[in-house]
Structure 1
């Protein structure tokens, strides 16, 4: 017997309670026979005014993630899609692996994280040099840079948008992101990456990828793509960039 709607797979999607982008983004990417089941990581929406404030906020997300994982596992999903990103980059490649291992031990099923998914997407494209944008503060961008460099990518430029509230991340306008992508682009860059799962970038990334003729990777696209492929679902999904459509 299989689930009537999720006859191919049930995905548990874990995201912060303040996040309004992950759920609609990943629902758009869902192929027939796959269903998404969202579990919220309880977190407040405080002001972040310093690097220290930002780290404290992401630490709170990390501390509450496992409760959200335990909650979603009661519907018996086949695989987890982790829709938070900053904490998945912390500590470089070893830290990312340890974080995933902790989640998988609690869940008893596999999981895709933002950090590993971005790296896998970049490798799929054959990119060597990258630039990236985040809604983070500089201290967290340094962790993203460390992870990418340890994953054998040369990081040329990065922009931390320094959003003051978690909910403010979803309010960053397309015009602002268009300007940031123009700043990040250059002949020295093979690919542009966006991290921060509450930053709405799926459509913007696809549009700029077509315009620039190089990969522009939104983290929500990369993470859901990684989950599908890791679970053996090879459907090609159009309209959201080359990653889902070609790889």
Structure 2
């Protein structure tokens, strides 16, 4: 799929969640043990977990946001995000990774880093970060987590 998108884009860089997350975890220090936050139903959780395992990551905790259907993935509240971070934030986790582009977690990830002391990678923010880096933009700034501040 990525090759097709790159071909269709005619040389313009293409960023996909899987690549962006892998690059971010590498840039954040070669993180391999993650607490995972997923908005998907059980079948989606199995698939996304298997993706990470196949790539050599160890999922040490899985927090589900309780998505009942694809159209309701974004139907989460601040307290849902907090509970998910608390569940994923086990001592073994080197970072917390949230998947699902329709989850409104970008600004909350920065807040969660303050009390977990770990990188919290939000799917939408990491896509933006990756696209900027692919475009040669290396600006660093506060307010959006350690990824934007350090990498």
TM-score normalised over the length of structure 2: 0.91
How far 1:167 sits from its partner (Å)?
A: 4.2
Q: Is the 8 A contact 1:195 1:219 kept in 2?
A: yes
Q: Is the 8 A contact 1:133 1:194 kept in 2?
A: yes
Higher relative contact order (CA 8 A, sep 6+): 2
How far 1:171 sits from its partner (Å)?
A: 2.4
Q: Deviations over 1:168-214 (max 9, x none)?
A: 22220010110111111111111111011111101111111121111
Root-mean-square deviation (CA), in Å? 1.5
Give, in whole Å, the separation in 2 of the partners of 1:101 and 1:217: 25
Structure 2 counterpart of 1:102: 4
Structure 2 counterpart of 1:150: 54
TM-score normalised over the length of structure 1: 0.57
Shifted more, 198-207 versus 168-177: the winner is 168-177
1:220 aligns with 2:124: yes
1:36-75 to 2 correspondence within 5 Å?
none
Structure 2 counterpart of 1:234: 138
The 3-state SS of whatever aligns with 1:110 is: coil
Distance 1:162 1:156, change over 3 A: same
After TM superposition, where is structure 1 displaced by more than 6 Å over at least 4 residues in a row?
A: none
Structure 1 counterpart of 2:85: 181
Instruction: Give the structure with the higher percent strand.
Output: 1
Gapped regions of structure 1 (runs ≥ 5): 1-98
Structure 2 counterpart of 1:18: none
1:203 aligns with 2:115: no
1:134 aligns with 2:43: no
Give, in whole Å, the separation in 2 of the partners of 1:240 and 1:161: 21
Q: Is the 8 A contact 2:65 2:81 kept in 1?
A: no
How far 1:165 sits from its partner (Å)?
A: 4.0
Give, in whole Å, the separation in 1 of the partners of 2:67 and 2:32: 29
Give, in whole Å, the separation in 2 of the partners of 1:137 and 1:165: 7
Larger radius of gyration, structure 1 or 2?
1
Shifted more, 149-158 versus 171-180: the winner is 149-158
1:125 aligns with 2:12: no
Q: Is the 8 A contact 2:6 2:13 kept in 1?
A: yes
